[in-house]
Structure 1
Amino acid sequence: MMSLVPCFISLIDAFNKPILIYVPRKAENEVNDVLKYNVLSNISLDYFESSLIKWTSLDSKPSLKSIFQLEGISVFGMLIKQTGLKIVIGFEQTILNGGDDELKTIDQIFETVRRIYVRVKCNPLLTDGDEVTAVKSLERKFDEIFISADVEL
């Protein structure tokens, strides 16, 4: 069990169009936080296009990047090169201590998000143009996993 719950999860396609900016239910009614997470997601796009992203890898996981820290949020990103999918996840800085176990947990969260996205995207019951249903499926799955403070991956 762990208590590391993301503040937000953003999925951004290869053309920098947001697929989903997910905010757990406990914070989704806080308009200022939702706007802040949208802005942080947009800022992260600059880092993905920058040459800096190539050398800011975490040693233990080269595809996982610590992008920036702003407004009390540590933002991490991952680029899936084959599809151009960008996964951006923010965590409150106050709950991060920087230990190896914590980095493994963050990596597990990214892997869980990636797996959920692939499962929803590869669902044979969804048509290519049915983006609304796909987004609702992603939100429902994220709610199942990240809604509580105790998350088991």
Structure 2
Amino acid sequence: MSLMPCFISLIDASDKPILVYVPNENENEMNNVLKYNVLSNISLDYFESALVEWTSSDSKPLLKSIFQLEGVSVFAMLIKQTGLKMVIGFEQKSMNGGDDETEAIYKIFETVRRIFIRVKCNPLLVKGDDISTVKSLERKFDELFASTEVEL
């Protein structure tokens, strides 16, 4: 199964956006870029809500479907150790709701998490150089998500 995110948002522990990535094909649509930024901002309310449980007795972080709006299903994951918030949206029309789909979504989150860790731990990047970090993340995401098929 291949599933393509329509946006990937990374938010740090202090709720500062690190990156809102939109695959190249949607980049030119300014309305979509603005919509995905708004959806990322809305997701912050779910991370702060006492109604949403983000801890698990399992060793892996919880993946939550937090809302559906404007034809986009938005999923989120909180990495408790670092406070990193990952928000990924998928077009509802491309989703079927099966167990394979849930596993594919989790794999995409894990891939994004691994890319983030590799970029942040890159000894060639100067610590605190947010521009280089963002450019490196965008380049890695382009390699994986800019095509029409994602195989993880």
TM-score exceeds 0.5:
yes
DSSP-derived class of the 2:4 partner: coil
Distance 1:53 1:9 in 2: 21
| Structure 2: gaps of 5 or more residues | none
Greater mean alpha carbon deviation, residues 61-70 or residues 7-16: 61-70
Asked whether the 8 Å contact 2:9–2:88 carries over to 1, the reply is: yes
Distance 2:99 2:61 in 1: 14
Structure 1 residue 95, shift from structure 2 partner? 0.8
In structure 1, the residue corresponding to 2:90 is in which secondary structure?
strand
Q: Which runs of 4 or more aligned residues in structure 1 lie more than 3 Å from their structure 2 counterparts after TM superposition?
A: none
1:54 partner SS: coil
Q: TM-score, normalised by structure 2?
A: 0.94
- With the length of structure 1 as denominator, give the TM-score of the two structures: 0.93
Offset at residue 129 of structure 1 (A): 1.8
Instruction: Please give the secondary structure, in 2, of the residue aligned with 1:53.
Output: coil
Segment drifting more, 30-39 vs 124-133: 124-133
Q: CA deviation at 1:3?
A: 2.8
Specify every segment of 5 or more residues in structure 1 that has no aligned partner in the other structure, as ranges. none
Q: Secondary structure of the equivalent of 1:149?
A: coil
The equivalent of 2:50 in structure 1 is 51
- Cα offsets for 1:16-35 (capped at 9, x unmatched): 00000000000011000000
Contact 2:8 2:20 in 1 (8 A): yes
Number of residue-to-residue matches in the alignment: 148
- Take 1:27 and 1:17, find their aligned partners in 2: how far apart are those partners? 23
**How far off is 1:127 after superposition?**
1.5
Query: RMSD of the alignment, in Å?
Result: 1.4
Q: Deviations over 1:11-70 (max 9, x none)?
A: 000000000000000001100000000000000000000012218x9xxx7610000000
Q: How far did 1:128 drift?
A: 1.4
Letter in 2 for 1:106: I
Which runs of structure 2 are paired with 1:1-153 in the superposition (5 Å)?
2-54=1-53, 63-153=62-152
| Aligned residues with identical type, % of pairs | 76
User: Cα gap change, 1:62/1:122 in structure 2, threshold over 3 Å: closer, same or farther?
Assistant: closer
SS in structure 2 at match of 1:79: strand
Deviations 1:57-116 (A, max 9, x none): 9xxx76100000000000000000000000000000011111000000000000000000
Q: Secondary structure at the match of 1:51?
A: coil
Give the letter for the 1:79 counterpart.
Answer: L
